[in-house]
Structure 1
Amino acid sequence: MSYHLYARPVAGSPAPSGGELRLDWVLLDASGELQASGQAEGRESIEDAVSRNSLEGVRLVGLVPGDEALFCFADIPAKQARFIRQALPFAVEEQLAQDVDTVHLALGGLTGDGYRVAAIDQQRMALWREGFLDWEGIELEAIYPDAALVPLKEHDWAICLGEDAALLASRRGEWMTMKAENLAVFAQTLAVPSADEVAAEVQVVVYGTESAFAANEPALSALAGTSRLSVHREPMEGNITELLASAHYHHATDPINLCQGSYAPGQAGGSALTAWRPAIAIAAAWLVLLVGAKLGMGYYHQQQATALEEQAMAIYRQAFPDDRRASPRNVRRIIEGQLRVAGQQGGDAGFLPLMKHTGQQYSRLTGGQSVLFNSVNYTSSRGELVVDVRADSYERLNALRSGIADQGLDASIGSVVNDSDGTRARLTVSGG
């Protein structure tokens, strides 16, 4: 099961370069349900909480203060990603308050106003990335401005109210952070339509706990009393981090991931496959062993087949010493042809008919590999086929003799010798 860990710096907590960072955090399971949470805890404490529960596949989403990342639009006519990246610094340069060469630009989606862009100081981005990277048992997935995750639903503006600060997000994709006491001034700005905007009611939703509403009642009253603004309060049961995490996990927001380009997690030697490397190594080792075993068995069976072919050809050449055409590939076809010709010649009790019937009975023996023909001799004057045969028991030889006799031939066993390796005898076949 996959888990997502959302971590947001506590207001007033030192930056990554200024001491231990204190974080509010929530852990969501694969269905988006809250599994664990904490407030104002250090990194080691969060890692211990994950480790104690033996969780695997935990992906970290860092939420940095929204006022550290500036939102802007980039009007770029190009469609290919490579050209968009090249033109991006020139398209937003005039909207920035510092040298564009010192700013990390993260590209968002395309809207009617252009491409959405998040701009953050390169040194600050490097520090935040370092602070969220290489957590024990936790893989960094993304870093977002926290205000960009405030859910809008069907409203034009959304405000997430803290005790003394507010996170704001708009339908255009903008975000910002301000002191709660300044909401009254902001409300007056919203109440005045722009030159190209038709005056209409602006829908505003305000999230907050009961204590946050009580602490900022004057600002909320100013919002609600401003003409053109329709303000709806929505109480929160949990804290701000829980609201932002739930909104992002359920795709209620479309924030811009700051981990792009040289600041992507994989650029530091990690990758999305890091957590799976042990499993991949085990699977690779198992695959090597499996392929090695298959190759070994293949080699063994090939050697066995070669030995059987050599044994068959030795027996054939004893019977047909002058035949140079036969090989392991065609000896069966040659013998079948010879037997077919001999069968067409009638009831001649010659070598081929006798060999045919003897071979047929040999092939029908159960466990025939335990009976071996050492030599085959034929005496044309007596019409006898004499086979020097070895078997693991006399019963095997007798079964072979009986099968030949059932074909109407005369078959007898003589010169029987029993030793530690089995039974040797001479099988004489005639008649027909």
Structure 2
Amino acid sequence: MLIVLLTAATAASEQDQPLHWWRLGREGQVLERGQDRLEGLHQRYAGERVRALLADGVGLHRVSLPGQRTAAIRAALPYALEERLSQELDDLHIVMGPKRADGQISAAVVEHRLLAYWSGRFATSGLRLEALLPLAALYADQAPEQGLRLQALDWPDCSGWLVSAADAEPVLLEPALLPFWLNNRLQALAPEQRQLSGPASELASLQASIPADTRLSSPASAEASGSLQGQLATAAPLNLLTGPYAVSMAAPPWRKLRPVLVAASVVVLLTVGWLGAERAALEAERDALRSQIETTFSRALPGARLQDPLVQFQQQLQGSSTQVQAGAGMLLHAFFTSLQGQSGVEIRQLRGSVEALDVELKVASFAELEKLRAALAASAGITEQLEGADSENGGVSARIRIARGES
């Protein structure tokens, strides 16, 4: 995970100034750190999760609101903070935090202008923010049980002081404002609660600016708990990327469906391939059948123009055409009727006229040839004549003339 620090110094100019960053391991340990521009971080760590810490320009508040419904509390929160804020509510982005054990609600307030600026910077660089966190909110769990606690931040470019209290959210102050703010804050506390802990050197310089009855203490571990690893080990508090600035970190819906899409793509490809093969096979079968029809037609009706073979053969067989067609049709009908029951007969050529039909064919044997001649001779109205027969491999080739005779 990448941690990027956003300070007033880096936001003062529109130029893309280098930012301080830390790269954490799975256990929260610091693996790398440096200072670079956002585009450079995107080139080096494009796939890393990114969190940004906003050090300036964000205020933390704590208010008490009646009611239990989260939606009602969120709607009333801006008006509960209105008296504390010096700007118009329309210019501010207010984020509601979790409800505390004492019933109070934590809230973060930041200008829309500042959020739009940083959101644009990260969007331009290509980095995708997981969270934008107030830096002061990381110290919310380090508040003292009583009084105030003063901490010096060891973050780069952060020269302010962090003041935390048990009854309020942490506040990040500039050194020049610290004496005035502490005096007013301690004056608001009851005398028995006026206690301030912090570095001894800073307490000595502040002693003249705070109430005289304030009890001062300098714990030896005042800054020991401020390690980066400890501050970022917990979940992100008060993420400012809500509402119009919300960024979904969930995986795109299509990514979850990637296995299903891959399987569907394979099925589609296989189906398209199978349909293509089936179409190619059907086209080849159609072409072979068309060629066979043309061959049979040219042999059966030499010299005739091929238009609709089925209709033309029906006209020939049924005698519904001209006289030439009627004569040839009768001879063809007699010939094909005689072929019924014959096996192994191959018609090689048919030549016809009104009075006669010359057939060149191949049969399995002379016995089959005589059987066919006998069937032709038994047909009424025609005569048959064997014009030649020769033995060849696998059968007998013969030429038979079928003519119209007395019925």
Alpha-carbon distance in 2 for matches of 1:151, 1:83 = 25
Q: Could you tell me whether the CA contact under 8 Å between 2:133 and 2:238 is conserved in 1?
A: yes
Structure 2 match to 1:250: 233
Alpha-carbon distance in 2 for matches of 1:100, 1:110 = 22
Alpha-carbon distance in 2 for matches of 1:140, 1:295 = 43
Alpha-carbon distance in 1 for matches of 2:180, 2:201 = 12
What do you get for the CA RMSD once the two structures are aligned?
A: 3.8
Mind listing any 5+ residue stretches in structure 1 that lack a counterpart?
A: 207-216, 297-432
1:28–1:183 distance in 2 versus 1, CA, 3 Å: same
> Which residues of 2 match residues 113-262 of structure 1 at below 5 A?
114-133=104-123, 135-136=125-126, 138-150=127-139, 152-153=141-142, 155-156=144-145, 157=149, 159-161=151-153, 164-180=159-175, 182-189=177-184, 191-192=186-187, 194=189, 197=190, 199-200=192-193, 202=195, 204=197, 218-222=201-205, 227-234=214-221, 243=226, 245-251=228-234, 255-262=237-244
Aligned residue pairs, count:
261
TM-score, normalised via structure 2 length: 0.54
* Identical aligned residues as a percent: 21
Q: Deviations over 1:378-399 (max 9, x none)?
A: xxxxxxxxxxxxxxxxxxxxxx
Cα shift at 1:77: 1.7
1:91–1:291 distance in 2 versus 1, CA, 3 Å: farther
TM-score, normalised via structure 1 length: 0.51
Alpha-carbon distance in 2 for matches of 1:201, 1:89 = 30
DSSP 3-state at the match of 1:232: coil
Structure 2 match to 1:358: none
> Which residues of 2 match residues 21-420 of structure 1 at below 5 A?
21-39=17-35, 41-50=36-45, 56=47, 58-66=48-56, 68-111=57-100, 112=102, 114-133=104-123, 135-136=125-126, 138-150=127-139, 152-153=141-142, 155-156=144-145, 157=149, 159-161=151-153, 164-180=159-175, 182-189=177-184, 191-192=186-187, 194=189, 197=190, 199-200=192-193, 202=195, 204=197, 218-222=201-205, 227-234=214-221, 243=226, 245-251=228-234, 255-266=237-248, 271-274=249-252, 279-280=255-256, 282-288=258-264
Alpha-carbon distance in 1 for matches of 2:177, 2:42 = 37
DSSP 3-state at the match of 2:2: strand
Structure 2 match to 1:374: none
Alpha-carbon distance in 2 for matches of 1:11, 1:91 = 28
Amino acid at match of 2:192: A
DSSP 3-state at the match of 2:45: helix
Structure 1 match to 2:5: 8
1:174–1:30 distance in 2 versus 1, CA, 3 Å: same
Alpha-carbon distance in 1 for matches of 2:271, 2:87 = 65
Alpha-carbon distance in 2 for matches of 1:295, 1:203 = 78
Alpha-carbon distance in 2 for matches of 1:177, 1:99 = 22
Q: Could you tell me whether the CA contact under 8 Å between 1:7 and 1:61 is conserved in 2?
A: yes
Structure 1 match to 2:381: none
Q: Could you tell me whether the CA contact under 8 Å between 1:152 and 1:158 is conserved in 2?
A: no
Mind listing any 5+ residue stretches in structure 2 that lack a counterpart?
A: 273-407
Alpha-carbon distance in 2 for matches of 1:191, 1:91 = 23
Alpha-carbon distance in 1 for matches of 2:221, 2:109 = 31
DSSP 3-state at the match of 1:199: helix
Q: Deviations over 1:165-205 (max 9, x none)?
A: 223333345232223355455554565462xx471474635
Cα shift at 1:106: 0.3
Of 71-80 and 86-95, the range deviating more from structure 2 = 71-80
Q: Could you tell me whether the CA contact under 8 Å between 2:140 and 2:169 is conserved in 1?
A: no
1:81–1:102 distance in 2 versus 1, CA, 3 Å: same
